[in-house]
Amino acid sequence: MAKPPSKRSSATEINRFLQQTKSITEFVANQPRLLFAIDATASRQPTWDTACHLQQEMFQASSKIASLSVQLCYFRGFHDFSASPWLNNSAELSRKMSAVRCEGGHTQIARLLKHAQTEHQKVAIKAVVFIGDAIEESPDSLCNLAGQCGLLKLPLFMFQEGRNRRVTNTFKDMARLSGGAFAHFDQNSARRLADLLGAVASYAAGGRQALENNNSEMAKALLKQLP
């Protein structure tokens, strides 16, 4: 028995569908964007595990202000660099982070910054968060890239684990040149890292005013460094 002909969509229904699709696309494109990057080389495993738990608080801090779209980036191993799709679901971000295992390798901060600039030129990114403890690249080259980020109005929030002086000086310079901020934390100060992530999430979602309305000590410390 022949099948009856399928119903064809009317021009009105097609136009309605296209308009809805356009509206969804525009909404996603207009969401504040934050690039969340972590050094996933071998020494980073303890901090990575901590960050997997703390990123939930980052979303909660921003959800009171606006939807926040986050891209997870990490580098590890031999030239292994990964960037997720832009996500606005904390459970999906947590799942992706939990699936990563750190591997020995050199830092790829320059590669990360070039990626961030490329993404920013497609759709503006409000802030880049980087968590790391080492530099195996030229500080001058990294500072030059950070200065380029500053010209693009792409602030870098550089969070250093540990107290290596060379790393501290370079991270501070990178944050300053980009119009961002710098802070220390260690494996014993998970609360500090949570507050830092929450403060930057507030900034990415609501700008300087949102950071001014954030009463945490970390928010106040970051605010003092912003231009």
- pLDDT tens-digit readout, 42-88: 888 777 777 777 766 666 555 555 578 999 999 999 999 999 999 98
- The Cα–Cα gap between 58 and 205 comes to 11
How many other β-carbons are positioned within 10 Å of the β-carbon of residue 147?
Answer: 16
Q: DSSP code of 148?
A: H
pLDDT bin (cut points 50, 70, 90) of residue 22 is very low
Could you tell me the two tokens for 73?
Answer: 């980036």
The mean pLDDT of 176-191, rounded to a whole number, is 86
pLDDT, tens only, 113-155? 999 999 999 999 999 999 999 999 999 999 999 999 999 999 9
| β-sheet bridge partners, residue 185 | 161
**For 209, left (φ over 0), alpha (ψ -120 to 50), or beta?**
alpha
How many other β-carbons are positioned within 10 Å of the β-carbon of residue 224?
Answer: 8
The mean pLDDT of 2-24, rounded to a whole number, is 50
158-161-165-166 Cα dihedral, nearest 10 degrees: -60
Q: DSSP code of 136?
A: -
Looking at residue 121, its amino acid is Q
Question: Which of 131, 125, 106 lies closest to 190, judged by CA?
Answer: 131
Whole-prediction pTM: 0.84
pLDDT bin (cut points 50, 70, 90) of residue 215 is confident
Q: What is the pLDDT of residue 65?
A: 52
- % of residues, the chain, pLDDT over 90: 56
- The Cα–Cα gap between 140 and 79 comes to 21
Question: Are 44 and 38 a contacting pair, CB within 8 Å?
Answer: yes
Q: Tell me which of 3.40.1830.10, 3.40.50.300, 3.90.850.10, 3.40.50.410 is the CATH number of domain 32-225.
A: 3.40.50.410
DSSP-derived 3-state class of residue 174: helix
The mean pLDDT of 82-96, rounded to a whole number, is 86
Q: What is the pLDDT of residue 88?
A: 87
Of 201 and 82, which is predicted with more confidence? 82
| Average pLDDT over all residues of the chain | 84
